Amino acid sequence: MRKSIVALFLCFVVAGCSEMVVGPSGTSRNVDDFVSLGQLVRSRYPFLQFKHINWDSLLAVYRPRVDQAKGDEIYTVLHDLLAELKDGHIELRTEGGFPTQTYEWPRLQGGKAYNPLVVRKYFDRELRVAGSGNLEYEILPENIGYIYLAAFHDGNWVYDIDGILAYLSNTKGLIFDVRNNGGGNADIANVITSRFTSAVIRYSFYLPNGTPGWTGTIGPSGPNSYHKPVAVLINGASFSCAELLPELMKQIPQVTTVGDTTGGGGGSNDVFTLPSNKRIKIPTSYLRRFNGEMIEWNGIPPDIRVPQTEADVNQGRDKQLERAIALLR
Give how many residues touch other proteins by CB under 8 A: 48
Sole window of 10-18, 131-139, 185-193, 254-262 interacting with other proteins (rule: CB under 8 A): 10-18
Q: Cα separation of 290 and 206, whole Å?
A: 13
132 makes contact with other proteins (CB under 8 A)? no
Q: Residue 26, interface with other proteins (CB under 8 A)? A: yes
What residues does 234 pair with on adjacent strands?
259
* Between 1 and 117, CB nearer to other proteins: 1
- What residues from 255 to 284 belong to the interface with other proteins (CB under 8 A)? 271, 276-278
Q: Which of 37, 41, 59, 92 binds other proteins (CB under 8 A)?
A: 92
The string of DSSP codes covering 284-298 is EEEEB-TTS-B-TTT
Among residues 35, 53, 65, 103, which is the contact residue for other proteins, using CB under 8 A?
A: 103
Assess contact for 270 and 224: CB atoms under 8 A: no
Q: Which of 3, 8, 156, 215 binds other proteins (CB under 8 A)?
A: 8
The CA-CA-CA angle for residues 245, 251, 253, to 5°, reads: 120
Residue number, 72 or 142, with CB nearest to other proteins: 72
Please report, to the nearest 10 degrees, the dihedral formed by the alpha carbons of residues 77, 82, 83, 88 taken in order.
Answer: -140
Is 250 a binding residue for other proteins by CB under 8 A? The answer is: no
Residues 6+ apart with CB under 8 A from 216: 186, 190, 202, 203, 204, 205
Q: Among 56, 67, 95, 270, which residue interacts with other proteins (rule: CB under 8 A)?
A: 95
SS3 304: strand
- Residue 85 contacts by C-beta under 8 Å, 6 or more apart in sequence? 41, 45, 47, 51, 53, 102, 103, 282
Pairwise CA distance, residues 163 & 252, whole Å = 21
d(CA 302, CA 150): 19
Nearest to 207 by CA among 152, 270, 264: 270
Q: What's CA 258's distance to the chain center, in Å? A: 20
Span from 37-45, 70-78, 224-232, 241-249 in contact with other proteins (CB under 8 A): 70-78
Residue 324 CB contacts under 8 Å (≥ 6 apart), including other chains: 175, 231, 233, 258
Looking at the Cβ atoms of 96 and 292, the one nearer to other proteins is 96
Q: Min. distance of Cβ 329 from other proteins in angstroms? A: 40
Q: Candidates 7-15, 56-64, 160-168, 289-297 — which segment interacts with other proteins by CB under 8 A? A: 7-15
Contact call for residue 104 and other proteins (CB under 8 A): yes
96 touching other proteins, by CB under 8 A: yes
Which of 102, 194, 257, 308 forms a contact with other proteins (CB under 8 A)? 102
**41: contact with other proteins by CB under 8 A:** no
Interaction between residue 24 and other proteins (CB under 8 A): yes
Of 86 and 288, which has the nearer Cβ to other proteins?
Answer: 86
- Site for other proteins contains 100 (CB under 8 A): yes
**CB nearer to other proteins: pick between 63 and 228:** 63
| 181: three-class secondary structure by DSSP | coil
Positions in the binding site for other proteins (CB under 8 A): 1-2, 4-5, 8-9, 12-13, 16-27, 70-73, 75-76, 79-80, 82-83, 86, 92-104, 271, 276-278
